[in-house]
Amino acid sequence: MSQRRALIKTQDSRAVARYLPSNYVVLETTEAGVLISGKDNAGWTLDDYVLPRLASGLYFGEEVTA
């Protein structure tokens, strides 16, 4: 399991944190948005759970691969 990161396009890190499962955390808030990081665990994956859950609250983002 490797570490995955995503940039969420908002400045509200507290709101983003409320949507995250325990295997993901807020790393920092930048001018570009809120950076989150974590490891996929069972069904709690970045693609299938974290990003769609954030989008349900109108917090959109994408994975950072660099």
The CATH code of the domain that includes 39 is: 3.30.70
Per-residue pLDDT of 10-62, as tens digits, reads: 999 999 999 999 999 999 999 999 999 999 998 899 999 999 999 999 999 99
Burial class (CB in 10 A: 0-12, 13-18, 19+), 53: middle
Range of the domain at 37: 3-64
What domain count does the chain have? Answer: 1
Is the pLDDT at 7 greater than 80? The verdict is yes
pLDDT score at 43: 86
pLDDT confidence of 1, banded at 50, 70, 90? Answer: low
What is the pTM assigned to this prediction?
0.93
Check residue 66 and give its pLDDT.
Answer: 74
Burial status of residue 33 (CB atoms within 10 A of its CB: 0-12, 13-18, 19 or more): buried
